[in-house]
Amino acid sequence: MTAWSSRDRDETLTADRAADLAKILLGFSLLWMYLVWSQFLVIWYGNVSDEVRYLIPLLYGRWQRLAWTIWAARFALPFVVLLPRIGKRRAPVLVVASFVAAGFWAECFLLVTPAASGPPSTWTAIAVTAAFL
């Protein structure tokens, strides 16, 4: 994303490089979904009691919207946009990469926050995250 926003972006991010980046991004998105699905299957059908207690709020509780948003940002959007040839251009790759990065942050947030007993989203958590950027 930094290379695309630089002044000489026409020489830095050529059409071939954008297509290669789109293929890599799509591949990692598919790998992420494969790992998440396999982890879910082991936990859910193995009835691992410690982990199922974590999955119930994600699937049916107050964290459900955020969990589905993460799934959409990290798998569904890259799959739908980057699979056709037209999605492998510069602008779609930049947009999808931004959504994947936001989904990655939201996933890290979701891994930590449900363990705390506070509200699902606080300005303090957002301010601390913004301070590190």
- pLDDT tops 60 at residue 41: yes
Cα 61 from chain centroid (whole Å)? 20
Q: How many helices (H) and strands (E) does the chain have?
A: 8, 0
- Give the position of tokens 């506070």: 118
At residue 87, the 3 state secondary structure works out as helix
First to last CA, the chain: 15
pLDDT digits (tens, 9 = 90+) for 85-101: 888 888 889 899 999 99
- pLDDT for 61 equals 84
CA neighbours closer than 13 Å in the CB half-sphere of residue 85: 1
Q: With pLDDT > 90 as the criterion, what percentage of the chain qualifies?
A: 38
- pTM of the entire predicted model: 0.74
